[in-house]
Structures are given as C-alpha cells and as structure tokens.
Chain A
Amino acid sequence: MKADKVRTQQLIEEFASSARPGRLLPPFIRSIAWLGSALFFVVAGVVMMGLRADFLESFHDPHFLIECIITLGTAVLSAAGAFALSVPGNERNRWTRILPGVAVSAWIAFLGFQLLHSHADSDSVVHSIRHGYSCFIDIVILGMVPGIFVFAMLRRGASIQTGWSGALAMLSVAALGALGVNFICTAANVPHVLLWHFLPVILVAFIGRALGKWLLKW
C-alpha cells in the first residue's frame, strides 16, 4: 500500500514537471469553426459536382426552403451537441441530445406531411427511387472531408459518451451533405427525398455511433 502511494506521488511529480500549457476553445466556438469550414467544403463540392440548372427558381419554392432550413438546423444542432459532448461533464446536459432529436423529428414530420399531400405520378416516383442511389453517394462524397475534420477535432476533446458524440458528429456531416445534394438533385418527389436524402443521413449517423466508440476512446 505504501509503495503504491509512493508510486502515485512519483506519477504526480512526473506529470507536474512535464506539463505544457494549453486549453481547448469552448465547444460552441469549435462547433462554429467546424461548421464554417464544413460548409465551405460542401459548397465547393456542390459547385464542382454541378449545381442543378433550376437552383435559382428553387428558392421560390417554400417547401424547398423549409427542407433546407430543417436540414441545416439538424446539422447545426447535432454539431453543437457533438462538440459539447467532447467535454467531460457535459453528458449530463440532456439538451445536447434532445435538440438534434427535435430537428430530426421536424424533418420526419415535414417529409411525412409532404408525403400525405404529394401528387407525383407513380412512374416518375418509381424511376427516381430506382435511380436515386447517386444522391446517397453524393452525400458521402460531400461529407468526406468535413467528416475527417470533425473526428480530428473531437479527438482533441474527451468524450465520455463516445457513441453519442460520433453519432451526432456524423449526423451533422450527413445533414450538410444532404443539404448540398438538395442543390444538385432535381428529383423533387417525396419518396425519393425520404429514401435517398433522409434515410442515408440516419444510416450515416448510426455508422458514426460505431466510429465514435472506436475513434473517440481515450
């Protein structure tokens, strides 16, 4: 017992003599910094992949605008949650998980509402569902660089709930990708958006959960 305490004392002295100054910026600032850079990459990606021809007209469509706002809201709230969770003690604040959940619920509710009121002809729906996988691939491509950045930044922190951190980070990444895809994809029918824009985001968030448990361990 005495030897163990001596060892603890040695450890303390070792740490104190080798400590270097340093402090992370608050999670809110880090999430803003990441969102700014991620948006830059997404916009650059969308421009390179080719903006949809009617993107200026699409701004006059309230449904399109609402969907973009909800998607962006999901990205912002989940990024804020992921970065907040990278500081020990913040996992006790349930809002870090509730707010992104509210955003995802709003997205589901909006798509559900549109689905009930959509009048697209069945042929075009079937076609856009069958050939919509490129939107999934675009979401992944657009989210690649921001995804690497977010994990690099989160690894500087110390998340207690690594699964949640990873899931929220990837939810944010995929939501930004889906936002970008809205400006590439011209298929406006709801089943396509649900299957190839929304569900990939949820799938990526689940993958993020596993990645978080693996990559954010400390």
Chain B
Amino acid sequence: MTANHQQEARLSELIRKSQDGDNDAYLALLKELSVVIRSYVGRRIGDTSAVEEVVQEVLIAIHSVRHTYHPEKPFFPWFYAIVRHRYIDYLRKWGRIYRTEISDSAFIDQSPAQEPGNSSRQRAEEAIAGLPMRQRQALELLKLEGLSVREAAEQLNTSEGALKVMAHRAYKTLRKAYRKEEP
C-alpha cells in the first residue's frame, strides 16, 4: 500500500467517523485536509493570502456537503472534485471582481470624492460600495443593521461560519483600502 493510499484510507475513516458524530475525528480530518488543500492551491496560486482564502472556501464547502460522501467510495475523487470546484469558482469570482474594480476605480478617479475636502464618510461609502456583493451584505447586516451573526446568516441563506468569513474578508478589504489612502 502506497503512502497515498494509506492517507486516503485514513481520511476516509475520519470522515466516516465524523459522519457518525465523532467531532474529534472531524477536527483531525479538517486539519489534515487544510494542509492538503494548501499544498494543492499553493502550487497554482502565487499569492499566499489568496491561497489561504481558497483553503477557507474549500473547508466551508466540505463542511456543508460532507454528508454526500459515501464511505464505501474512494475519498480522493470526492475531495478533489470539491477542491477543483471551489478553486475554479475563486478564479471566476476574482476575474469578475478584477474587471469590476477596474471600471469602478476609473469612475472614482473622475468623481468629486477624490478631490481635496473629501469627507471620511464618503471614503467609507466608496470603499463599502467596492466590496463584492455578499461581503457588502454581510457587513451591512452586521454593522449597519446590528443583526446577530445567526440572524444575518439566516437572511443571507448561508451558514454562520461562512458569514463570519465574508465579514472578515470585508474588514480586511476595507482596512487595505484605508491604508492605501492614508498619506
């Protein structure tokens, strides 16, 4: 039996146990999978923070569809199908955002908000408007409407974990935007 087969058998056993309600097995599974995903994505993306973003996306996906795995089937085809799916989603999403950001920044360059005397409120509004839709919604529900994580997750029809990730990314993007603008 090769190391690859041994790893697959071990991961298959861990997910089987986790499907039966063993949360320690699930913790061990996710920890091991995060290393495998990081290695897979890291070979394809140079940007290390982007790699971590994809790792989180894949972990969220695995968490939400782990019940679809059948223990009698090999683990890796199931697992890598999810990894590839989320990785391609990520590439598509960033392709779209990149195109949108170019058009937005061209618009902002010509807008009065970039002129001297621009208020911090305007800057905040622009930065929020530039966020991807789901991140913006997460931020608005949590910070402007003051909903709890659970309530906001329900409104966006997503899990609490996924909502936290969205909000976290929104804060990160806003922080970066502010740092760039500071003299």
Residues of A within 8 A of B56 (CB): 4, 7-8, 11
**The residue from B18, B52, B69 contacting A19, defined by CB atoms under 8 A apart:** B18
**The residue from A13, A21, A158 contacting B21, defined by CB atoms under 8 A apart:** A21
Instruction: A160 to B78: give the CA distance in the assembly, Å.
Output: 10
Instruction: A7 to B23: give the CA distance in the assembly, Å.
Output: 19
Instruction: A11 to B59: give the CA distance in the assembly, Å.
Output: 8
Question: Nearest chain A CB to B121's CB is how many angstroms away?
Answer: 28
B77 and A19: CB pair below 8 A? Answer: no
**Given A8-B34, A12-B59: 10 more A-B contacts, CB < 8 Å:** A1-B52, A8-B52, A11-B60, A14-B161, A15-B63, A23-B19, A26-B70, A89-B77, A91-B81, A218-B61
Q: How would residues 38 to 51 of chain A score, 1 for a CB under 8 Å from any chain B CB and 0 otherwise? A: 00000000000000
B85 and A88: CB pair below 8 A? Answer: yes
Q: Is B119 an interface residue (CB 8 A)?
A: no
Main secondary structure on B side of the interface with A:
helix
A87 and B27: CB pair below 8 A? Answer: no
Question: Nearest chain A CB to B75's CB is how many angstroms away?
Answer: 9
**The residue from A1, A21, A87, A156 contacting B78, defined by CB atoms under 8 A apart:** A87
Instruction: A158 to B81: give the CA distance in the assembly, Å.
Output: 10
Residues of B within 8 A of A91 (CB): 81
Instruction: A109 to B63: give the CA distance in the assembly, Å.
Output: 45
Q: How would residues 46 to 88 of chain B score, 1 for a CB under 8 Å from any chain A CB and 0 otherwise? A: 0011001101100111011111111101000111111001000
Instruction: A92 to B85: give the CA distance in the assembly, Å.
Output: 13
B81 and A4: CB pair below 8 A? Answer: no
B34 and A86: CB pair below 8 A? Answer: no
Residues of A within 8 A of B61 (CB): 158, 218
Q: Is B31 an interface residue (CB 8 A)?
A: yes
**The residue from A24, A26, A218 contacting B64, defined by CB atoms under 8 A apart:** A218
Residues of A within 8 A of B160 (CB): 14, 18
Instruction: A22 to B67: give the CA distance in the assembly, Å.
Output: 6
Q: What are 5 A-B contacts defined by CB distance under 8 Å?
A: A4-B56, A16-B24, A16-B30, A23-B71, A89-B77
Question: Nearest chain A CB to B84's CB is how many angstroms away?
Answer: 8
Residues of B within 8 A of A157 (CB): 65, 68
Would you list which residues of chain A between 133 and 189 have a CB under 8 Å from chain B? Answer: 156-158, 160
Q: How many residues of chain A get a CB closer than 8 Å to chain B's CBs?
A: 31
A15 and B81: CB pair below 8 A? Answer: no
**The residue from A12, A89, A156, A158 contacting B73, defined by CB atoms under 8 A apart:** A89
Q: A5-B52, A8-B52 are in contact. Are A89 and B26 (CB under 8 A)?
A: no
A23 and B85: CB pair below 8 A? Answer: no
Q: A23-B19, A87-B68, A89-B73 are in contact. Are A1 and B85 (CB under 8 A)?
A: no
User: Chain A: which residue is nearest B71 at the CB level?
Assistant: A23
A8 and B55: CB pair below 8 A? Answer: yes
Q: A11-B59, A11-B161, A158-B65 are in contact. Are A88 and B18 (CB under 8 A)?
A: no
Residues of A within 8 A of B73 (CB): 87, 89
Instruction: A8 to B18: give the CA distance in the assembly, Å.
Output: 19
Q: Is B101 an interface residue (CB 8 A)?
A: no
Residues of B within 8 A of A26 (CB): 70
Q: Is B165 an interface residue (CB 8 A)?
A: yes
Question: Nearest chain B CB to A81's CB is how many angstroms away?
Answer: 16
**The residue from A19, A86, A87, A92 contacting B63, defined by CB atoms under 8 A apart:** A19
User: Chain A: which residue is nearest B52 at the CB level?
Assistant: A4
**The residue from B49, B80, B81 contacting A1, defined by CB atoms under 8 A apart:** B49
Instruction: A86 to B80: give the CA distance in the assembly, Å.
Output: 15
Instruction: A23 to B164: give the CA distance in the assembly, Å.
Output: 26
A12 and B34: CB pair below 8 A? Answer: yes
